[in-house]
């Protein structure tokens, strides 16, 4: 027998699922933002929900605020919905953001993309795929290059982030 709290949680999750579906229908993609905590060296991150439904990996960006995350993710998502296929290793630039990104495959998407996996009803071990959009620093260097300016915890390498 289910408790009242179980029923309330299920009702809330059902409402969240419907909200996610409405946003995807209206805008093509839903963005899930998770705030970090710099005091504990926990990076914020955001990812898409909806691209897997058009046969593309979802997108992830780490270590930026909600406005930057939504701008980048919406920009790249629009390219994908317009027919572009973004692949690991590809570099992208933006008209309204001074940084470049390189798409990198994330080896542990089931530990990050909870909202996407819930929406697509996939268990963590069969997670939707994720591409991390890794951005360069103010000097144009990426995390794998010498003299990269950002602290490693701000933009962890693919496979290091866990939600």
Mean pLDDT of the chain: 93
Instruction: Look at residue 49 in the predicted model and tell me its pLDDT.
Output: 98
Residue 131: which of 149, 113, 153, 106 has the closest Cα? 106
Digit-coded pLDDT (tens) for 73-94? 999 999 999 999 999 999 999 9
Instruction: Name the pTM for this structure.
Output: 0.91
Domain-wise residue ranges, the chain: 4-135
Regions of the chain with pLDDT less than 70: 1-2
Cα(16)–Cα(13) distance, rounded to whole angstroms? 5
- Alpha-carbon distance 100 to 113, whole Å? 23
């Amino acid at each position: 027998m289910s408790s009242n709290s179980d029923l309330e949680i299920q009702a809330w999750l059902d409402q969240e699922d419907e909200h996610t579906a409405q946003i995807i229908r209206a805008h093509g993609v839903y963005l899930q933002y998770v705030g970090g905590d710099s005091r504990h060296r926990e990076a914020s991150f955001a990812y898409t929900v909806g691209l897997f439904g058009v046969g593309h990996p979802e997108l992830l960006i780490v270590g930026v605020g909600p406005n930057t995350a939504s701008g980048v993710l919406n920009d790249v998502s629009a390219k994908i919905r317009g027919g572009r296929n973004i692949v690991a290793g590809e570099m992208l630039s933006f008209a309204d953001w001074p940084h470049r990104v390189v798409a990198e495959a994330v080896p542990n998407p089931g530990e990050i993309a909870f909202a996407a996996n819930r929406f697509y009803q996939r268990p963590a071990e069969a997670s939707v795929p994720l591409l991390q959009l890794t951005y360069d620093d103010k000097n144009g260097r990426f995390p794998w290059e010498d003299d990269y300016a950002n602290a490693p915890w701000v933009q962890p390498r693919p496979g290091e982030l866990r939600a």
